[in-house]
Amino acid sequence: MKLAKLLGMFALGAILWAADPTVGTWKLNSAKSKYKVGMAPKEQTLTIGEAGNDLDVMVTGTSAEGTPISTHYTVPAAGGPGKIIESSYEAVSGKRMSANEREVTYTKAGKIALTVHSRVSGDGKTLTVTVKGTDTQGKPVDAVAVYDKQ
C-alpha cells in the first residue's frame, strides 16, 4: 500500500514537471514592453491551454487604434505546423527551443509574415515575447512585449 502511494506521488510529480510553463493567462504589461516599430496595443491577453498534444492559443485585446484584437490557433506543444482557427494569417507553425522557450511563425500569402520568440522566466511569472514582422493589420512591428501571469 505504501509503495502504491509513493508511485502515485511520483506520477503526479512527473505530470507537474512535464506541464508546459506557457500554459495559463498572461496580461500585457505596457510599462515593461518596448515597441521600436509599431504601436503597443491598449490592452492584450494571451490565454494558452493544453488540448491533447497541442497548445490552444487565444490572443484578445484592443489595438492602439481601438479596434478589437482576436487571434486563435492550435500548435503542437512539441513543435510543428498548427491550425489557424481565427486570424488574418493563413498558417502558423511552432518550434520548441527549450522547456521555457518557443518560436512561432505566422504565414500570409505563402511567406513568413511574423516571427514571435517567447521565453518564460525561471520563476514562471513573466513571459517575454520578441515580435518582428507584420501584424494582423499589415503594419510593421518590432517589439519586446512583456506579459505577467495572472
Half-sphere exposure of 10 (CA within 13 A, CB side): 6
Q: pLDDT 10s per residue in the chain (150 long)?
A: 454 443 444 444 434 444 799 999 999 999 999 999 988 999 999 999 999 999 999 999 999 999 999 999 999 999 999 999 999 999 999 999 999 999 999 999 999 999 999 999 999 999 999 999 998 778 899 999 999 999
Round to whole Å and give the CA distance between 69 and 98. 28
Number of neighbouring beta carbons within 10 Å of residue 67: 13
| Domain spans of the chain, in order of start | 21-149
The type of residue at 48 is I
CATH number listed for the domain at residues 21-149: 2.40.128.20
Round to whole Å and give the CA distance between 56 and 112. 21
Q: pTM of the full predicted structure?
A: 0.85
